[in-house]
């Protein structure tokens, strides 16, 4: 069992958990992720390690309620436990050797972005961060990222904070003035990463994205998380989750993320009606 040491609400429906897992904390690096399972009936869910504290022996995850399983996680409190936490999984990312980097997060993407920003800041990189969300109240880790960045830009779809529009609008504006960057890291919804990669391709700037593919085991034994990168099939869980954004087939990934859409309603129905209501299941 893996106990929750702390829980914090970062925004409506977005919760942060520090989980006791000393062995994982000892090995975690930016780019790594975890697979968690709440209880005997639960799915295995991949979540990026958003932070880690080797001394405290804890790892941090940030979860947004989007479906049944994430809601179930978000209802856990400090003192509760996860039945299973596996990690650190995936390949860590290399943050050394860069001078000027733009980091872009969309929505919950700030969570996986944060350890990378932290690591880049430590390397003394000149860092610009663009943080985007639908609306002001969904912006997370703003202060933490601002502290580590030389400059932080904010965009919201509805203009409730920062610039009205998408992160790509802000990126375009920055690059139009100064395009001397070694690297862009973009993490967020698939569609956002796709458009960021399109912008940076015009400027010829290397771009790293972190994919949030569907996963089961997270150790390379099923291929559920496969992605086409530069024409080759890769497994996100072992070859990634970070890839060259200019080589990823985002349209395919967008399609693959929708495989189980119809199943979500069934889970919710089941939770509401329970096992007893056979009539409903048969209809």
Cβ 110 to other proteins, closest distance in Å?
A: 25
Kindly list the distances between the CA atom of residue 279 and the CA atoms of 266, 272, 273, 274, in Å, as whole numbers in the listed order: 14, 14, 10, 11
User: Which SS3 state, helix, strand or coil, does residue 120 take?
Assistant: helix
Q: Which is nearer to other proteins, 143 or 252 (CB)?
A: 252
Cβ 260 to other proteins, closest distance in Å?
A: 4
Q: Which is nearer to other proteins, 4 or 148 (CB)?
A: 4
Q: Which is nearer to other proteins, 216 or 247 (CB)?
A: 216
Cβ 140 to other proteins, closest distance in Å?
A: 26
Strands 33-37 and 84-89: antiparallel
Nearest-angstrom CA–CA distance, 14 and 21: 21
Contact present, 264 and 115 (Cβ < 8 Å): no
Q: Which is nearer to other proteins, 12 or 220 (CB)?
A: 220
Q: Which is nearer to other proteins, 66 or 221 (CB)?
A: 221
Contact present, 16 and 50 (Cβ < 8 Å): yes
Instruction: Check residue 137 and report its DSSP letter.
Output: G
Contact present, 155 and 130 (Cβ < 8 Å): yes
Q: Of 174, 106, 167, 171, whose CA–CA distance to 139 is shortest?
A: 106
Cβ 256 to other proteins, closest distance in Å?
A: 6
Q: Which is nearer to other proteins, 72 or 129 (CB)?
A: 72
Contact present, 49 and 105 (Cβ < 8 Å): no
Cβ 173 to other proteins, closest distance in Å?
A: 34
Nearest-angstrom CA–CA distance, 202 and 272: 50
Q: Which is nearer to other proteins, 147 or 252 (CB)?
A: 252
Can you read off the two tokens belonging to residue 94? 């290399």
Cβ 267 to other proteins, closest distance in Å?
A: 5
Residues of this chain that interact with other proteins (CB under 8 A) are: 23-24, 27, 37, 41-44, 68-69, 83-89, 216-217, 219-224, 226-228, 233, 238, 252, 255-256, 258-260, 263, 266-267, 269-271, 275
Find the angle CA(166)-CA(211)-CA(49) to the nearest 5 degrees.
100
Cβ 33 to other proteins, closest distance in Å?
A: 11
Q: Is the dihedral of CA 38, 39, 41, 46 positive or negative?
A: positive
């Amino acid at each position: 069992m893996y106990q929750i040491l702390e829980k914090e609400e970062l925004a409506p429906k977005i919760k942060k958990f520090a989980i006791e897992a000393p062995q994982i904390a000892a090995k975690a690096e930016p780019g790594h992720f975890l697979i968690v399972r709440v209880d005997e009936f639960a799915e295995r869910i991949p979540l990026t390690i958003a932070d880690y504290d080797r001394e405290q022996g804890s790892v941090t995850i940030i979860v947004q309620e989007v479906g049944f399983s994430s809601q179930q996680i978000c209802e856990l409190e400090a003192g509760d436990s996860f039945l299973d936490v596996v990690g650190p999984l995936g390949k860590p990312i290399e943050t050394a050797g860069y001078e000027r980097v733009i980091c872009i997060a969309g929505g919950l993407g700030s969570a996986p972005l944060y350890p990378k920003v932290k690591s880049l800041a430590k390397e003394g990189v000149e860092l610009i961060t663009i943080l985007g969300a639908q609306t002001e109240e969904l912006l997370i880790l703003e202060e933490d990222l601002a502290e580590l960045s030389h400059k932080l830009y904010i965009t919201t779809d509805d203009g409730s904070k920062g610039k009205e529009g998408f992160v790509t609008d802000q990126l375009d504006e920055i690059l139009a003035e100064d395009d001397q960057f070694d690297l862009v890291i973009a993490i967020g919804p698939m569609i956002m990463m796709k458009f960021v990669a399109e912008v940076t391709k015009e400027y010829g700037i290397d771009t790293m994205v972190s994919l949030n593919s569907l996963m089961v085991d997270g150790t390379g034994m099923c291929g559920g998380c496969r992605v086409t990168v530069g024409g080759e099939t890769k497994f996100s869980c072992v070859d990634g989750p970070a890839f060259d954004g200019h080589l990823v087939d985002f349209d395919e990934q967008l399609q693959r993320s929708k495989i189980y859409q119809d199943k979500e309603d069934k889970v919710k129905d089941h939770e509401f009606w329970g096992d007893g209501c056979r009539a409903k299941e048969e209809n």
